[in-house]
Amino acid sequence: MRFAQVIGQEIIKERMIHGVRVGRIPHAQLILGAEGSGNLALALAYVQYILCNQPSETDSCGECSSCKKVSALIHPDVHFSFPFPKKAGEMEQCSDVYPQWRTALQEDPYLNYEDWMQQLNAENKQGNIPTKELRNIIKNISLKSYEGKMKVCLIWLPEYLGQEGNILLKSLEEPPEQTLFLLVGSDLDAILGTILSRTQLVRVAPIDDASLSLALQTRESIAADDAQRLAKVAQGNYRLARDLGKEAGNPHLDAWRIWMTICFRRKMGEAFQWSDDTASLGREGVKSFLLYGIQVLRTCAVLPYTGSEGLWEGPELDFVNKFNTLQLGEGVIGQMVTVLEKAFYGVERNGNAKVLLMDATYGLIQAISKKN
């Protein structure tokens, strides 16, 4: 993958390229960015640039043998580790599921953990990076590089390293020469502190609206107006924007309107039906919906200060404006966001979506009742 194929993120690209050109490549880095920000895509472009035989001042060449191997995910000096559900005799180390990994990553470098689990048909099983794989990493970096340049160990989602991740500490601290550890994650709080303290943090911001909108137009053939609207709704998350773009209109907005009516009018009878309907979206759908709700609320909170300029447009903006006439106040909105975040993490950790949505409904009603 070339930097040109990564959506937006110009500042980080420049910083990475500059670092390589002046020979400053910290040996252990954590590339941290929210889902949909493209942190994995950036890491791939960075690796390709580092290993490219004829890099320009702005990108890898994309043509040399090294670039071709990196982009085909078959470069012998690039080792990938990632979570997967262990299964004795079948799936014990990353190489056992490498063909699936290649397919998933080549199809979509903006994939998330759930997409990957789906690729493995393991949606409800918990993945992790097992000890056997960690020993492979250590063995692998002790070998000489095949092509004479750097050896790269890319660990996707270090959040899934349990205590056994401490096996890597010594390697992270003092790796063999010409070895680069790239950890690519999203949730700082879920990564072992011992690992964090041994890596240099590279923060990846959400994708800017203009780049996101352009990507939706060119990659997803979404009309310019819709693309601009979706880019604002998704707030830097390409994966979410793309998903929302696949639907006609915005079904999340309709579901959200119904939910708010239920909460404000305390129509508990309807809440059961609504939770049932919404839970039928599946885990990913419910997560995407909750994320959308959080974004609606956050926009409501900032709108009185910023005005609508540069914020949402069309039906979303109408809704937010109407919602704000309720004058909930920042405290109440903050509590509502907390309720949604709690539900989001519950769903992410395989909780029962219907129960969590009902819980969240009670939580929202309680938060709203504190309105002065």
**Total length of the chain:** 372
Residue 252 tokens read as 């999340």
Question: Least distance in Å: CB of 10 to Zn ion?
Answer: 21
Binding residues for Zn ion, rule: CB under 5 A, are 52, 60-61, 64, 67
**Whose Cβ is closer to Zn ion: residue 60's or residue 237's?**
60
Q: Give the pair of three-digit tokens for residue 358.
A: 């009902």
Q: Which is nearer to Zn ion, 52 or 347 (CB)?
A: 52
How many CA atoms are closer than 13 Å to the CA of 272, on its beta-carbon side? 2
In terms of Cα–Cα distance, which of 325, 322, 331, 323 is closest to 371?
A: 331
- State which residue, 6 or 111, has the beta carbon closest to Zn ion: 6
Distance CA 241, CA 135 (A): 38
Minimum CB distance to Zn ion, residue 167 (Å): 34
Closer to Zn ion by Cβ: residue 28 or 180: 180
Instruction: Please identify, using beta-carbon distances, which residue of 28 and 67 lies nearer to Zn ion.
Output: 67
DSSP for 269-318? HHHHHHHHHHHTTHHHHHHHHHHHHHHHHHHHHHHHHH-STTS--HHHHH
Of 51 and 367, the one with the shorter C-beta distance to Zn ion is 51
Return the amino acid letter for 200.
Q
CB of 5 to Zn ion, least distance (A): 14
- Are the C-beta atoms of residues 157 and 184 closer than 8 Å to each other? yes
Provide φ and ψ at 85, rounded to 5°. Answer: -80, 120
Q: How far is the CB of 43 from Zn ion (least distance, A)?
A: 17
Minimum CB distance to Zn ion, residue 47 (Å): 11
Nearest approach, Cβ of residue 62 and Zn ion (Å): 6
Query: Phi and psi of 140, rounded to 5°?
Result: -60, -45
- In angstroms, give the least distance from the CB of 51 to Zn ion: 8
What ranges make up the beta strands (E) of the chain?
28-33, 78-81, 151-156, 179-185, 200-204
Residue among 53 and 261 whose Cβ is closer to Zn ion:
53
